[in-house]
Amino acid sequence: MKLRGLYAITDSQLLAGKFLSYVEAALEGGVTLLQYRDKSSDEARRLREAEALRDLCERYKTQLIINDDAELAARLNVGVHLGQTDGPLSPTRALLGSKAIIGSTCHAQLALAEQAAKEGASYVAFGRFFNSNTKPGAPTCSLDLLDHAKRTLHLPICAIGGITLDNAAPLVAHGVDLLAVVHGLFGAENTAEVTRRARAFNELLKV
């Protein structure tokens, strides 16, 4: 499958009390990848929510990605996104198989992306590009880095970090395939606005 389009990432606090309704509204607007991101230690709830998302994603033909938890991804037969503290990517590729989508956080470093590509990543994620609620302390990424990455990597490139409809266009112009969005998508007042934003992000990417 071609990895291009909106990459929606859940946030448990932001979506408290409206989790599934807002996620479904985003899927209605078109989402290429949906990442379940929950940093809590409540494993039973995480399994329950991940299963609900998997069922929703199947209905909308969207790929579900689990953040940082290869074992949960294997249990649900879905993809995973790994940070730099999650160890090498190769064992996860062996665990999930050759067809699973595995993404890798590469911060603002091309060398990390090149290493991830060697180890079998499906896409690489650079960021943050703008001020981010989710990762306020992350180093800032430049548009120049995207140009270098586009020339040297033969993988889909994801941008993350404070992305909104107002600032996303330059990222697309510099070759980004996936726009990873949290607050810029789910920080909406109602489900109709979530759907509208999802469609507008895809319009920027001409998906």
* 67 marked as binding residue: yes
**For residues 117 and 122, what is the distance between their CA atoms, to the nearest angstrom?**
8
* 122 marked as binding residue: no
* 69 marked as binding residue: no
* 37 marked as binding residue: yes
Residue partners of 66: CB distance under 8 A and separation at least 6: 35, 36, 50, 72, 73, 76, 78, 79, 80, 81
* 35 marked as binding residue: yes
* 167 marked as binding residue: no
Give 106's strand partners.
none
* 77 marked as binding residue: no
* 38 marked as binding residue: yes
CA pseudo-torsion sign 99, 79, 155, 110: negative
CB distance 194 to 182 below 8 Å: no
Helix 19-29 and helix 43-60, axial crossing angle in degrees, nearest 10? 30
* 150 marked as binding residue: no
96 Rama sector, left if φ>0, alpha if ψ -120 to 50, beta otherwise: alpha
Residue partners of 45: CB distance under 8 A and separation at least 6: 38
CB distance 140 to 108 below 8 Å: yes
* 133 marked as binding residue: yes
- Residue numbering of the annotated binding site for Mg(2+): 68, 86
- Residue numbering of the annotated binding site: 35-39, 67-68, 86, 105, 132-135, 162
